Amino acid sequence: MIRATSILLMALSLGAQSPAVPTPPAKPTTSAEEQAIQRFRAHARPRAVAPAAPLSAEDRNTIRRFREAKPSVVFVSAFILNPDPTGPPRLPAGTGTGFVWDEWGHIVTNHHVISAEVEGKLFRDAEEVEITFSSGKAYKGRVIGRSFAFDIAVIQVFAPLEAMRPITVGSSSALQVGQSVLAIGNPFGLDHSLSKGVISALGRMIATGYNSWILNSIQTDAAINPGNSGGPLLDAGGRLIGMNTAIVSNKSEGSVGVGFALPVDTINKVVPLLIARGVLQPPRMGFEVFSAAEAKQFFGVERGLVLSRIIPDTPAAEGGLKGVTTDAKGNVTGIGDILLGYQGGLIENHGQFAARLELQPPDDEVVFDVLREGKMIQVTLHLNPAGAKPKAKPASNSI
């Protein structure tokens, strides 16, 4: 360090004796292109703004409906508690969209929005929920109602009641293919995004992640992406006609422009029941069924419900339904009843039937169309007010 400093001081003291700095070469003659560039730089200034054309009636309506609905649309964040004490206290479980149902702080969204998933499989419901309004303010919420069959969850948000702006509810019974729709949601976390399209089809049956099927779903080409789940689908009048629930996608392209919404007429039946009692209460009929894969593999049956066991002292037993027959070793020796129809409608599979059953009053009389030993018969079950629930927890394939 001392040596280097001494050399530096010596060089400064030599003054004119220092080596001459090389003279940079002269700049080349400016080319014609460069001269033109420099000359045209002088004209840099903002462009004149052309007068805006008047908005069309359709555009004005779209803007108006978005502004009206925006305060009713919320961002839903779900969390699960972290079992690892060395990590953060909570872990993200999912995000999505929801909307204000009424003035009492009830938020409606998809059940899969508030469910944690591990390796693509349902893990558990979120333990903490946070609701963010269009104002940017976030409040704690609690899931108070859930339906697996319809993929609906109701959240009580602990926010000032004056912040509640209930969405305008319409009907899905008279919708027509081709009419305009608006979807508002939070795709990829981008809050309050609007997309527009048309109703592409009606009466679709779509699968949920809970082995059930949503009937009479609305198909739309309005852009729906991850994060839109639970958001409202509106008609041109700004009325809620559905809840955006699912998309058709592939791994390479993501959404391909085919989305599905749960119809509002279904929502308007299910949500009040969930608010009132937390869960839907389908009747317990007292029979167990084979899974769709088992029914096809063992019996070659691709539609309907193949009964495996009848639970004693239940409506199914009293009505005379029959399960499979077995030998002393428990091997199946004969097929049981196959339920093909329920209350005049077809039974496609377990999930589709479970979705219909959630709205069935528990004390009604129900009629099944049954295929028994190659012949079609009708069997009537009389359901008692208690629903004839078995004392033990029923299996997942028990109805």
Annotation says 151 is catalytic: yes
226, two tokens = 């991850």
230, two tokens = 């639970």
The DSSP code for 76 is: E
The CA–CA distances, whole Å, from 91 to 61, 107, 161, 199 equal: 41, 22, 29, 37
> Integer distance in angstroms from the first to the last C-alpha of the chain?
88
The DSSP code for 187 is: G
Q: Annotated catalytic residue: which of 115, 151, 337, 398?
A: 151
Q: Annotated catalytic residue: which of 193, 212, 229, 308?
A: 229
Calpha distance 217→67 (Å, rounded): 26
The CA–CA distances, whole Å, from 169 to 69, 204, 232, 235, 285 equal: 11, 21, 10, 10, 34
Annotation says 229 is catalytic: yes
Q: Annotated catalytic residue: which of 77, 106, 111, 112?
A: 112
Strand partners, 156: 106, 142
- Residues in Cβ contact with 326 at an 8 Å cutoff, skipping those fewer than 6 apart: 332, 333
Calpha distance 370→307 (Å, rounded): 10
Q: What are phi and psi of 26, to 5 degrees?
A: -65, 145
User: Could you give the residue numbers annotated as active site?
Assistant: 112, 151, 229
